[in-house]
Amino acid sequence: MSARRHAPVRQRMARFASAALVVFAVLAAAYGATHGAAANLPARVAVAAQVPPAVVKTDTVTQAELVKRGEYLARAGDCIACHTADPARPFAGGVPVATPFGTIYTPNITSDPDTGIGRWTDADFLRAMHEGIGKGGERLYPAFPYVEYTRVTTEDVLAIRAYLTTVAPIHSTPPRNDLMFPFNQRWLMALWNLFNFSEGRFVPDPKKSAEFNRGAYLVEGLAHCGECHTPRNVMQGLRTGERLGGGAVAGWQAYNITPDKNGGVGHWSDDDLIHYLATGVAPGRANAAGPMADVVVNSTQHLTQEDLRSIVVYLRSVPAIGGGAARPRDSFGRPAPDDVTGIRGTAANTADGARLFIANCASCHHWTGEGAGGRAPGAYPPLIRNSATGANAANNLTLVILHGVNRTTKDTAAFMPAFGPVLTDAQIAAIAGYVTIRFGNPQAATSAEQVAKLRQAR
Protein backbone atom coordinates (compact mmCIF):
# COMPACT_ATOMS: atom_id res chain seq x y z
CA MET A 1 0.00 0.00 0.00
CA SER A 2 1.30 3.42 -0.86
CA ALA A 3 2.22 6.03 1.69
CA ARG A 4 -0.41 8.33 0.26
CA ARG A 5 -3.04 5.74 0.98
CA HIS A 6 -2.40 6.16 4.69
CA ALA A 7 -2.20 9.90 4.65
CA PRO A 8 -5.77 10.50 5.84
CA VAL A 9 -5.26 8.31 8.88
CA ARG A 10 -2.07 10.11 9.74
CA GLN A 11 -3.76 13.43 9.34
CA ARG A 12 -6.48 12.39 11.73
CA MET A 13 -3.91 11.24 14.24
CA ALA A 14 -2.03 14.51 13.93
CA ARG A 15 -5.31 16.22 14.67
CA PHE A 16 -5.79 14.00 17.63
CA ALA A 17 -2.32 14.85 18.89
CA SER A 18 -2.99 18.56 18.81
CA ALA A 19 -6.36 17.84 20.37
CA ALA A 20 -4.59 16.11 23.24
CA LEU A 21 -2.45 19.18 23.74
CA VAL A 22 -5.50 21.40 23.92
CA VAL A 23 -7.21 18.96 26.22
CA PHE A 24 -4.19 19.01 28.48
CA ALA A 25 -4.27 22.79 28.62
CA VAL A 26 -7.94 22.94 29.58
CA LEU A 27 -7.65 20.09 32.06
CA ALA A 28 -7.84 22.22 35.17
CA ALA A 29 -10.72 24.31 33.91
CA ALA A 30 -12.61 21.27 32.73
CA TYR A 31 -12.29 19.62 36.10
CA GLY A 32 -14.45 22.20 37.80
CA ALA A 33 -16.83 22.77 34.96
CA THR A 34 -17.42 19.37 33.42
CA HIS A 35 -21.14 19.20 33.97
CA GLY A 36 -21.84 22.75 32.88
CA ALA A 37 -19.61 22.35 29.83
CA ALA A 38 -21.24 19.11 28.76
CA ALA A 39 -24.69 20.64 29.11
CA ASN A 40 -23.68 23.59 26.92
CA LEU A 41 -22.61 21.43 24.00
CA PRO A 42 -24.26 22.29 20.70
CA ALA A 43 -27.23 20.21 19.61
CA ARG A 44 -26.28 16.94 17.97
CA VAL A 45 -28.07 14.46 15.79
CA ALA A 46 -30.61 12.83 18.04
CA VAL A 47 -29.19 9.62 19.39
CA ALA A 48 -30.56 6.97 21.70
CA ALA A 49 -30.91 3.22 21.86
CA GLN A 50 -33.42 2.18 19.23
CA VAL A 51 -34.15 -0.09 16.30
CA PRO A 52 -32.78 1.07 12.93
CA PRO A 53 -34.55 1.60 9.64
CA ALA A 54 -34.37 -1.04 6.91
CA VAL A 55 -33.00 -3.82 9.03
CA VAL A 56 -33.97 -7.47 9.07
CA LYS A 57 -34.31 -9.10 12.48
CA THR A 58 -31.25 -11.22 13.24
CA ASP A 59 -33.22 -14.24 14.38
CA THR A 60 -34.92 -14.52 10.99
CA VAL A 61 -31.71 -14.65 8.97
CA THR A 62 -29.33 -17.52 8.51
CA GLN A 63 -25.70 -17.26 9.59
CA ALA A 64 -24.64 -17.00 5.94
CA GLU A 65 -27.00 -14.09 5.37
CA LEU A 66 -25.75 -12.42 8.52
CA VAL A 67 -22.13 -12.71 7.38
CA LYS A 68 -23.03 -11.35 3.95
CA ARG A 69 -24.79 -8.39 5.49
CA GLY A 70 -21.82 -7.86 7.80
CA GLU A 71 -19.47 -7.78 4.83
CA TYR A 72 -21.63 -5.15 3.16
CA LEU A 73 -21.76 -3.08 6.35
CA ALA A 74 -18.00 -3.39 6.87
CA ARG A 75 -17.58 -1.90 3.41
CA ALA A 76 -20.00 0.89 4.20
CA GLY A 77 -17.84 1.57 7.30
CA ASP A 78 -14.61 1.31 5.29
CA CYS A 79 -12.91 -0.74 8.05
CA ILE A 80 -10.41 -2.13 5.57
CA ALA A 81 -8.95 1.27 4.70
CA CYS A 82 -7.48 1.85 8.14
CA HIS A 83 -6.92 -1.75 9.24
CA THR A 84 -4.99 -3.09 6.24
CA ALA A 85 -1.30 -2.25 5.78
CA ASP A 86 -0.66 -5.06 3.30
CA PRO A 87 -3.47 -5.91 0.85
CA ALA A 88 -2.49 -9.60 1.14
CA ARG A 89 -3.29 -9.47 4.87
CA PRO A 90 -6.68 -7.79 5.10
CA PHE A 91 -7.72 -6.45 8.53
CA ALA A 92 -4.37 -7.41 10.12
CA GLY A 93 -3.74 -3.77 11.00
CA GLY A 94 -0.27 -2.29 11.27
CA VAL A 95 -0.98 0.83 9.27
CA PRO A 96 1.64 3.26 10.59
CA VAL A 97 0.14 6.51 11.64
CA ALA A 98 2.86 9.14 11.92
CA THR A 99 2.27 12.19 14.10
CA PRO A 100 4.65 14.91 15.20
CA PHE A 101 4.56 13.22 18.60
CA GLY A 102 5.31 9.70 17.53
CA THR A 103 3.73 6.84 15.64
CA ILE A 104 0.61 4.79 16.28
CA TYR A 105 -0.21 1.52 14.47
CA THR A 106 -3.75 0.35 13.79
CA PRO A 107 -4.65 -2.91 15.56
CA ASN A 108 -5.20 -6.34 14.04
CA ILE A 109 -8.98 -6.95 13.90
CA THR A 110 -8.88 -10.44 12.40
CA SER A 111 -10.07 -13.25 14.66
CA ASP A 112 -6.57 -14.43 15.54
CA PRO A 113 -6.91 -15.20 19.27
CA ASP A 114 -3.49 -13.93 20.32
CA THR A 115 -2.85 -10.92 18.15
CA GLY A 116 -6.30 -10.06 16.80
CA ILE A 117 -9.73 -9.84 18.41
CA GLY A 118 -10.45 -13.60 18.45
CA ARG A 119 -10.85 -13.61 22.23
CA TRP A 120 -13.12 -10.59 22.29
CA THR A 121 -16.71 -11.18 23.31
CA ASP A 122 -19.52 -9.57 21.36
CA ALA A 123 -19.90 -7.21 24.32
CA ASP A 124 -16.24 -6.16 24.03
CA PHE A 125 -16.72 -5.48 20.32
CA LEU A 126 -19.90 -3.51 20.91
CA ARG A 127 -18.21 -1.44 23.61
CA ALA A 128 -15.34 -0.55 21.24
CA MET A 129 -17.69 0.50 18.43
CA HIS A 130 -20.24 2.27 20.61
CA GLU A 131 -18.12 3.75 23.39
CA GLY A 132 -14.55 3.87 22.07
CA ILE A 133 -13.30 1.61 24.83
CA GLY A 134 -10.91 -1.30 24.26
CA LYS A 135 -11.01 -4.82 25.70
CA GLY A 136 -8.93 -3.88 28.73
CA GLY A 137 -11.16 -0.90 29.49
CA GLU A 138 -8.68 1.54 27.94
CA ARG A 139 -9.84 4.59 25.98
CA LEU A 140 -9.37 4.34 22.23
CA TYR A 141 -8.10 7.29 20.23
CA PRO A 142 -10.72 9.05 18.08
CA ALA A 143 -8.67 8.32 14.95
CA PHE A 144 -10.94 5.27 15.21
CA PRO A 145 -14.25 6.92 14.20
CA TYR A 146 -16.32 5.73 17.17
CA VAL A 147 -17.83 9.23 17.29
CA GLU A 148 -19.85 8.06 14.27
CA TYR A 149 -19.88 4.31 14.87
CA THR A 150 -21.72 4.87 18.16
CA ARG A 151 -24.84 5.50 16.04
CA VAL A 152 -24.69 2.07 14.37
CA THR A 153 -27.32 -0.34 15.69
CA THR A 154 -26.33 -3.27 17.86
CA GLU A 155 -27.65 -5.61 15.16
CA ASP A 156 -25.44 -4.08 12.50
CA VAL A 157 -22.36 -4.04 14.74
CA LEU A 158 -22.90 -7.72 15.47
CA ALA A 159 -23.30 -8.45 11.75
CA ILE A 160 -19.92 -6.76 11.14
CA ARG A 161 -18.49 -8.84 13.96
CA ALA A 162 -19.95 -12.01 12.38
CA TYR A 163 -18.30 -11.11 9.09
CA LEU A 164 -14.94 -10.35 10.72
CA THR A 165 -14.91 -13.78 12.35
CA THR A 166 -15.00 -15.30 8.83
CA VAL A 167 -11.99 -13.43 7.44
CA ALA A 168 -8.74 -15.39 7.63
CA PRO A 169 -7.20 -15.04 11.09
CA ILE A 170 -3.75 -13.55 10.70
CA HIS A 171 -1.13 -13.86 13.41
CA SER A 172 0.44 -10.45 13.40
CA THR A 173 1.15 -7.94 16.12
CA PRO A 174 1.42 -4.40 14.89
CA PRO A 175 4.48 -2.62 16.25
CA ARG A 176 3.95 -0.91 19.59
CA ASN A 177 2.75 2.65 19.48
CA ASP A 178 5.55 5.08 20.02
CA LEU A 179 3.83 8.16 21.37
CA MET A 180 5.53 10.56 23.73
CA PHE A 181 3.99 11.93 26.89
CA PRO A 182 1.28 13.22 27.24
CA PHE A 183 -0.08 11.77 24.00
CA ASN A 184 0.36 8.23 25.30
CA GLN A 185 -2.10 8.97 28.11
CA ARG A 186 -5.27 7.26 26.92
CA TRP A 187 -7.32 8.50 29.85
CA LEU A 188 -7.11 12.00 28.34
CA MET A 189 -9.63 10.78 25.80
CA ALA A 190 -12.23 10.61 28.54
CA LEU A 191 -11.89 14.35 28.78
CA TRP A 192 -11.97 14.80 25.02
CA ASN A 193 -15.12 12.70 24.89
CA LEU A 194 -16.84 15.02 27.34
CA PHE A 195 -16.72 17.79 24.79
CA ASN A 196 -16.74 15.96 21.48
CA PHE A 197 -18.54 12.66 21.82
CA SER A 198 -22.11 11.78 22.52
CA GLU A 199 -22.74 8.08 22.91
CA GLY A 200 -25.95 6.59 21.54
CA ARG A 201 -27.64 4.81 18.67
CA PHE A 202 -29.30 6.50 15.71
CA VAL A 203 -32.95 7.39 16.18
CA PRO A 204 -35.03 7.53 12.99
CA ASP A 205 -37.16 10.65 12.60
CA PRO A 206 -40.75 9.38 12.19
CA LYS A 207 -41.70 12.56 10.33
CA LYS A 208 -39.14 11.85 7.61
CA SER A 209 -39.12 9.26 4.84
CA ALA A 210 -37.49 5.85 5.17
CA GLU A 211 -34.96 6.99 2.56
CA PHE A 212 -34.00 10.05 4.60
CA ASN A 213 -33.55 7.96 7.72
CA ARG A 214 -31.49 5.35 5.94
CA GLY A 215 -29.30 8.08 4.42
CA ALA A 216 -28.84 9.81 7.78
CA TYR A 217 -27.95 6.48 9.37
CA LEU A 218 -25.25 5.85 6.77
CA VAL A 219 -23.81 9.37 6.41
CA GLU A 220 -23.74 10.20 10.14
CA GLY A 221 -22.94 6.63 11.19
CA LEU A 222 -21.08 3.88 9.37
CA ALA A 223 -19.93 5.86 6.34
CA HIS A 224 -18.58 8.66 8.59
CA CYS A 225 -18.53 11.21 5.75
CA GLY A 226 -18.23 14.03 8.30
CA GLU A 227 -14.85 12.78 9.56
CA CYS A 228 -13.42 14.47 6.48
CA HIS A 229 -16.18 16.81 5.25
CA THR A 230 -17.10 18.53 8.55
CA PRO A 231 -14.88 21.32 9.90
CA ARG A 232 -13.31 20.89 13.36
CA ASN A 233 -13.31 22.91 16.55
CA VAL A 234 -10.27 23.99 18.55
CA MET A 235 -10.15 20.59 20.26
CA GLN A 236 -10.35 18.96 16.82
CA GLY A 237 -13.82 17.63 17.54
CA LEU A 238 -16.41 17.91 14.75
CA ARG A 239 -18.24 21.26 14.51
CA THR A 240 -21.64 19.64 14.31
CA GLY A 241 -23.35 22.98 13.64
CA GLU A 242 -21.49 23.09 10.31
CA ARG A 243 -22.05 19.49 9.38
CA LEU A 244 -20.56 18.58 5.97
CA GLY A 245 -19.62 22.24 5.38
CA GLY A 246 -16.10 21.30 4.23
CA GLY A 247 -13.06 19.94 6.06
CA ALA A 248 -9.44 19.10 5.44
CA VAL A 249 -7.62 15.79 5.29
CA ALA A 250 -3.89 15.32 4.65
CA GLY A 251 -3.67 18.65 2.82
CA TRP A 252 -6.76 17.91 0.68
CA GLN A 253 -9.90 19.99 0.78
CA ALA A 254 -12.82 17.65 1.53
CA TYR A 255 -15.31 19.99 -0.10
CA ASN A 256 -18.52 21.42 1.27
CA ILE A 257 -21.17 18.83 0.30
CA THR A 258 -24.19 20.60 1.81
CA PRO A 259 -27.07 21.54 -0.55
CA ASP A 260 -25.90 25.15 -0.97
CA LYS A 261 -26.02 25.96 -4.70
CA ASN A 262 -22.73 27.89 -4.68
CA GLY A 263 -20.72 26.55 -1.78
CA GLY A 264 -21.91 22.95 -1.87
CA VAL A 265 -23.38 20.43 -4.30
CA GLY A 266 -26.95 21.79 -4.43
CA HIS A 267 -26.68 22.30 -8.18
CA TRP A 268 -25.61 18.68 -8.85
CA SER A 269 -28.34 16.31 -10.01
CA ASP A 270 -29.12 13.22 -7.95
CA ASP A 271 -27.54 11.14 -10.68
CA ASP A 272 -24.34 13.24 -10.59
CA LEU A 273 -23.98 12.45 -6.89
CA ILE A 274 -24.85 8.78 -7.27
CA HIS A 275 -22.48 8.41 -10.21
CA TYR A 276 -19.67 10.12 -8.27
CA LEU A 277 -20.06 7.79 -5.28
CA ALA A 278 -20.45 4.69 -7.48
CA THR A 279 -17.61 5.36 -9.95
CA GLY A 280 -15.55 8.34 -8.74
CA VAL A 281 -16.73 10.57 -11.56
CA ALA A 282 -19.53 13.11 -11.88
CA PRO A 283 -19.10 13.75 -15.60
CA GLY A 284 -18.32 17.36 -16.39
CA ARG A 285 -18.11 18.28 -12.69
CA ALA A 286 -15.70 16.32 -10.57
CA ASN A 287 -13.33 13.37 -10.31
CA ALA A 288 -12.39 11.61 -7.11
CA ALA A 289 -8.68 11.56 -6.31
CA GLY A 290 -6.69 11.13 -3.09
CA PRO A 291 -8.65 10.14 0.03
CA MET A 292 -12.00 10.32 -1.80
CA ALA A 293 -10.76 7.91 -4.47
CA ASP A 294 -9.96 5.48 -1.63
CA VAL A 295 -13.46 5.96 -0.19
CA VAL A 296 -15.01 5.19 -3.58
CA VAL A 297 -12.76 2.16 -4.17
CA ASN A 298 -13.14 0.57 -0.73
CA SER A 299 -16.58 1.68 0.21
CA THR A 300 -19.15 3.62 -1.81
CA GLN A 301 -18.79 1.71 -5.11
CA HIS A 302 -20.04 -1.36 -3.24
CA LEU A 303 -23.22 0.27 -1.94
CA THR A 304 -26.58 -0.57 -3.50
CA GLN A 305 -28.39 1.97 -5.68
CA GLU A 306 -31.01 2.25 -2.92
CA ASP A 307 -28.41 3.12 -0.30
CA LEU A 308 -26.68 5.62 -2.62
CA ARG A 309 -30.05 7.21 -3.35
CA SER A 310 -30.76 7.41 0.39
CA ILE A 311 -27.39 9.07 1.00
CA VAL A 312 -28.30 11.66 -1.63
CA VAL A 313 -31.75 12.26 -0.11
CA TYR A 314 -30.08 12.91 3.24
CA LEU A 315 -27.34 15.14 1.77
CA ARG A 316 -30.10 17.27 0.21
CA SER A 317 -31.62 17.85 3.63
CA VAL A 318 -28.72 19.04 5.78
CA PRO A 319 -28.55 22.81 6.40
CA ALA A 320 -27.03 24.59 3.39
CA ILE A 321 -23.73 26.34 4.08
CA GLY A 322 -22.58 28.97 1.60
CA GLY A 323 -19.13 29.62 3.00
CA GLY A 324 -19.00 32.90 1.07
CA ALA A 325 -18.84 31.21 -2.35
CA ALA A 326 -20.33 33.38 -5.10
CA ARG A 327 -20.53 30.61 -7.69
CA PRO A 328 -20.09 26.84 -7.79
CA ARG A 329 -16.58 25.33 -7.91
CA ASP A 330 -17.40 23.54 -11.13
CA SER A 331 -18.63 26.62 -13.00
CA PHE A 332 -15.25 28.18 -13.85
CA GLY A 333 -13.21 28.23 -17.00
CA ARG A 334 -13.47 28.36 -20.77
CA PRO A 335 -11.55 26.34 -23.36
CA ALA A 336 -8.19 27.95 -24.14
CA PRO A 337 -8.26 29.92 -27.43
CA ASP A 338 -6.00 28.57 -30.11
CA ASP A 339 -3.30 31.24 -29.59
CA VAL A 340 -1.87 28.90 -26.97
CA THR A 341 -0.72 26.62 -29.81
CA GLY A 342 1.85 29.29 -30.58
CA ILE A 343 3.90 28.19 -27.61
CA ARG A 344 4.05 24.55 -28.68
CA GLY A 345 7.55 23.58 -29.70
CA THR A 346 9.20 26.57 -28.11
CA ALA A 347 12.01 26.00 -25.63
CA ALA A 348 10.63 24.86 -22.32
CA ASN A 349 13.60 26.03 -20.34
CA THR A 350 11.77 28.21 -17.85
CA ALA A 351 9.25 27.35 -15.18
CA ASP A 352 6.58 28.77 -17.44
CA GLY A 353 3.16 27.39 -16.66
CA ALA A 354 1.77 27.35 -20.20
CA ARG A 355 4.80 25.53 -21.64
CA LEU A 356 4.91 23.07 -18.77
CA PHE A 357 1.21 22.42 -19.19
CA ILE A 358 1.61 21.69 -22.90
CA ALA A 359 4.59 19.43 -22.21
CA ASN A 360 3.11 17.47 -19.28
CA CYS A 361 -0.65 17.67 -19.31
CA ALA A 362 -2.02 18.55 -22.75
CA SER A 363 -1.41 15.08 -24.22
CA CYS A 364 -4.27 13.84 -22.04
CA HIS A 365 -6.32 16.87 -21.03
CA HIS A 366 -5.91 18.63 -24.43
CA TRP A 367 -4.32 22.05 -24.81
CA THR A 368 -7.78 23.60 -24.73
CA GLY A 369 -8.35 22.01 -21.29
CA GLU A 370 -11.42 20.23 -22.63
CA GLY A 371 -10.10 16.75 -21.97
CA ALA A 372 -10.27 13.77 -24.30
CA GLY A 373 -11.76 10.34 -24.66
CA GLY A 374 -15.33 11.15 -23.68
CA ARG A 375 -16.74 11.54 -20.23
CA ALA A 376 -16.67 8.02 -18.86
CA PRO A 377 -14.62 7.30 -15.75
CA GLY A 378 -10.99 6.81 -16.75
CA ALA A 379 -11.25 9.11 -19.75
CA TYR A 380 -9.18 12.30 -19.63
CA PRO A 381 -11.51 14.75 -17.94
CA PRO A 382 -11.96 18.39 -18.84
CA LEU A 383 -10.09 20.79 -16.56
CA ILE A 384 -12.67 23.48 -17.21
CA ARG A 385 -15.77 23.25 -15.00
CA ASN A 386 -14.01 20.82 -12.71
CA SER A 387 -14.20 21.19 -8.93
CA ALA A 388 -10.45 20.61 -8.52
CA THR A 389 -9.56 23.59 -10.72
CA GLY A 390 -12.45 25.84 -9.64
CA ALA A 391 -12.04 25.42 -5.88
CA ASN A 392 -11.06 28.46 -3.82
CA ALA A 393 -7.65 26.93 -3.08
CA ALA A 394 -5.28 25.01 -5.33
CA ASN A 395 -4.66 22.24 -2.78
CA ASN A 396 -6.41 19.38 -4.54
CA LEU A 397 -5.11 20.40 -7.96
CA THR A 398 -1.56 20.51 -6.55
CA LEU A 399 -1.95 17.15 -4.81
CA VAL A 400 -3.35 15.57 -7.98
CA ILE A 401 -0.30 16.81 -9.92
CA LEU A 402 2.03 15.54 -7.14
CA HIS A 403 0.45 12.10 -6.68
CA GLY A 404 -1.58 11.49 -9.84
CA VAL A 405 -4.77 9.45 -9.80
CA ASN A 406 -4.90 5.69 -9.31
CA ARG A 407 -8.49 4.58 -8.82
CA THR A 408 -9.51 1.07 -9.79
CA THR A 409 -13.18 0.25 -9.42
CA LYS A 410 -15.44 -2.53 -10.72
CA ASP A 411 -16.07 -0.45 -13.84
CA THR A 412 -12.72 0.93 -14.78
CA ALA A 413 -9.18 1.91 -13.92
CA ALA A 414 -8.52 5.66 -13.87
CA PHE A 415 -4.81 6.39 -14.05
CA MET A 416 -2.92 9.67 -14.20
CA PRO A 417 0.84 9.55 -13.53
CA ALA A 418 2.34 11.26 -10.47
CA PHE A 419 4.44 14.28 -11.38
CA GLY A 420 5.85 14.74 -7.86
CA PRO A 421 8.99 12.72 -8.61
CA VAL A 422 9.76 14.47 -11.92
CA LEU A 423 8.78 18.12 -11.49
CA THR A 424 10.14 20.67 -8.99
CA ASP A 425 7.95 22.57 -6.56
CA ALA A 426 8.37 25.70 -8.68
CA GLN A 427 7.35 23.86 -11.85
CA ILE A 428 4.26 22.40 -10.18
CA ALA A 429 3.31 25.81 -8.81
CA ALA A 430 3.70 27.26 -12.30
CA ILE A 431 1.44 24.59 -13.83
CA ALA A 432 -1.16 24.99 -11.07
CA GLY A 433 -1.04 28.76 -11.57
CA TYR A 434 -1.58 28.42 -15.31
CA VAL A 435 -4.37 25.87 -14.88
CA THR A 436 -6.31 27.89 -12.31
CA ILE A 437 -5.99 31.17 -14.24
CA ARG A 438 -6.74 29.62 -17.62
CA PHE A 439 -9.22 26.88 -16.77
CA GLY A 440 -10.34 27.41 -13.19
CA ASN A 441 -10.64 29.84 -10.31
CA PRO A 442 -8.09 32.65 -10.78
CA GLN A 443 -8.25 33.41 -7.04
CA ALA A 444 -6.72 30.04 -6.18
CA ALA A 445 -3.14 31.23 -6.16
CA THR A 446 -0.29 28.96 -5.09
CA SER A 447 3.48 29.11 -4.66
CA ALA A 448 6.51 26.82 -4.61
CA GLU A 449 6.46 27.03 -0.78
CA GLN A 450 2.85 25.90 -0.75
CA VAL A 451 3.68 22.99 -3.07
CA ALA A 452 6.60 22.03 -0.79
CA LYS A 453 4.24 21.99 2.20
CA LEU A 454 1.71 19.82 0.38
CA ARG A 455 4.48 17.40 -0.64
CA GLN A 456 5.04 16.80 3.10
CA ALA A 457 1.34 16.73 4.05
CA ARG A 458 0.17 13.54 5.78
Burial (CB < 10 A; 0-12, 13-18, 19+), residue 11, is: buried
What CA–CA distance (Å, rounded) separates 356 from 360?
6
Contact flags string 13-32 toward ligand HEC, x per CB under 6 A: --------------------
Neighbours of 397 (CB within 10 A): 29
Binding-site size for ligand HEC (CB under 6 A) equals: 77
Among 141, 195, 217, 332, indicate the residue that binds ligand HEC (CB under 6 A).
141
How many whole angstroms separate alpha carbon 215 and alpha carbon 45? 13
Q: For residues 152 and 203, which CB has a smaller minimum distance to ligand HEC in the complex?
A: 152
Does the annotation list 79 as a binding residue? Answer: yes
In the range 324-363, which residues lie near ligand HEC by CB under 6 A? 329, 360-361, 363
Q: How many CB atoms lie within 10 A of CB 66?
A: 19
Long-range CB contact pairs, 420-428, < 8 A, 24+: 420/455, 423/356, 423/360, 424/351, 424/448, 425/449, 425/451, 425/452, 425/455, 426/351, 426/451, 427/351, 427/356, 428/398, 428/401, 428/402
Separation of alpha carbons 454 and 418, rounded Å? 14
Stretch 156-215 residues interacting with ligand HEC (CB under 6 A): 160
Please tell me whether residue 380 binds ligand HEC under the rule CB under 6 A. Answer: yes
Residues in region 254-273 near ligand HEC by CB under 6 A: 254-255, 257, 265, 273
Question: Rule CB under 6 A: is residue 225 a binding residue for ligand HEC?
Answer: yes
Residue from 415, 424, 442, 443 touching ligand HEC (CB under 6 A): that is: 415
Q: How far is the CB of 109 from ligand HEC (least distance, A)?
A: 5
Tally the residues of the chain.
458
User: Considering the complex, what minimum distance in angstroms separates the CB of residue 194 from ligand HEC?
Assistant: 17
Q: Is 224 annotated as a binding residue?
A: no
450 counts as binding ligand HEC under rule CB under 6 A? no
Judged by CB under 6 A, the residue of 301, 387, 409, 441 near ligand HEC is 387
Site for ligand HEC in 274-303 (CB under 6 A): 276-277, 280-281, 286-292, 295, 300
Instruction: Count Cβ atoms below 10 Å from residue 339 Cβ, excluding itself.
Output: 7
DSSP string over 90-110:
TT-B--EEEETTEEEEPPP-S
Q: Which of residues 77-96 bind ligand HEC (CB under 6 A)?
A: 77-79, 81-83
Instruction: Check binding of 309 to ligand HEC (CB under 6 A).
Output: no
Query: 173 vs 114, 180, 188, 257, 404, CA distance in Å?
Result: 9, 20, 25, 38, 33
Distance in Å, CB of 30 to ligand HEC, minimum: 21
- What DSSP character marks residue 11? H
C-alpha dist (Å) from residue 198 to 48, 108, 139, 423: 10, 26, 15, 46
133 binds ligand HEC per the rule CB under 6 A: no
Q: Is 72 in the site for ligand HEC (CB under 6 A)?
A: no
For residue 397, state whether it binds ligand HEC (rule: CB under 6 A). yes
Which value, to the nearest 10 degrees, does the dihedral of the CA atoms of residues 75, 193, 239, 7 take? Answer: -50
**Is 302 annotated to bind ligand?**
no
Contact map string, positions 93 to 112, toward ligand HEC, x by CB under 6 A: -------------xx-x---
- Write out the binding residues for heme c: 79, 82-83, 225, 228-229, 361, 364-365
